Amino acid sequence: MTAPLFHLSPGRLDGLTPGSQITVDGTEGHHAATVMRLGAGEQVLLSDTHRLKVSGVILDAGAGEMVVEVQEVSEEPQDHPALVLVQGLAKDKRDLQAVESATELGVDAVIPWQAERSVARWKAGREAKKHAEWVSTVTTAAKQTRRTSVPQVRELHTTAQYLRSLAEQQGVGVVVLHEAEEISLASVLDQLQAPELRELHLVVGPEGGISEAEIAQLTQAGARTARLGRSVLRSSTAGPAGIAGAQILLGRWDW
């Protein structure tokens, strides 16, 4: 079984080399030593949530902290373009299901999208709480899948705000996953692959789908539309399926 992973703050692993020692305290130290009851001699993984991962062995544990001796330090390569899921808010937490699975499949960032047909809404004054729920979801999923990096959860966007953000950025390719399209994701990615592409956004609507007006606005902004297979996928499934498809088509799972 793979050793458990614990997330430390960015910078905590900088400068560590094999033979170094690091004390893990705080929430993660408490979870390791008190909740999981890990002890001396057990293997653990540590991540700075960005790029560095340490594998090591516990030298001592107790009182809510553990001392780890570093055995190996590795740096996770950064794939280009970054994969970003623009997930329409959906009822019954299907949006969170999508975000959780997309994290497990390697998404780099997620954007909560208040689409025209979204039944679910982030009520005024509760945006911070809902955003924190998404952050907690990706953090937990990243830890369970032993990911070094934790996907970024960007601010909630309406359609107008998302379109403005696209106009202000360069090197962003956008693919709208749309059930009425006849072009495959593979065909669209063949057209989009370019050295200057910094991010690839996959846009998924809520349970009611993406409105024709939104499709028109997105394509006018340069987005392309694609379909995933013959079936009509639910909002909780389409995003993760698109991320998995992109990973394979871009050759990222060939290593």
**How many Cα atoms occupy the beta-carbon half-sphere of 176 within 13 Å?**
29
d(CA 178, CA 143): 31
Residue with tokens 């030593």: 33
Which tokens go with 125?
A: 């004054």
In this prediction, residue 255 carries a pLDDT of 67
Q: Please state at what angle helix 159-167 crosses helix 212-220, rounded to 10 degrees.
A: 10
Which tokens go with 145?
A: 């899948």
Residue-wise pLDDT for 90-124, tens only, equals 999 999 999 999 999 999 999 999 999 999 999 88
Q: Which comes out higher in pLDDT, residue 1 or 182?
A: 182
Residue-wise pLDDT for 165-178, tens only, equals 999 999 999 999 99
d(CA 218, CA 160): 10
pLDDT, averaged across the chain: 93
Whether residue 194 has pLDDT greater than 80: no
What CA–CA distances, in Å, run from 162 to 17, 111, 113, 194, 199? Answer: 42, 9, 8, 22, 14
- Of the given ranges (146-150, 153-157, 159-163, 194-198), which has the lowest mean pLDDT? 194-198
Do residues 67 and 21 lie in contact, with contact meaning Cβ atoms separated by under 8 Å? yes
Do residues 86 and 203 lie in contact, with contact meaning Cβ atoms separated by under 8 Å? yes
Do residues 57 and 71 lie in contact, with contact meaning Cβ atoms separated by under 8 Å? yes
Sequence-distant (6+) residues with CB within 8 A of 95 are 87, 88, 89, 112, 120, 206, 235, 236
Do residues 70 and 17 lie in contact, with contact meaning Cβ atoms separated by under 8 Å? yes
The arithmetic mean of pLDDT across residues 40-48, rounded, is 94
What is the sign, positive or negative, of the torsion defined by CA atoms of 3, 7, 12, 14? Answer: positive
Task: Kindly indicate the confidence band of residue 188, based on its pLDDT and cuts at 50, 70 and 90.
Answer: very high
d(CA 200, CA 83): 5
Residues paired with 24 in a beta bridge: 66
Q: What are phi and psi of 129, to 5 degrees?
A: -65, -45
In this prediction, residue 115 carries a pLDDT of 93
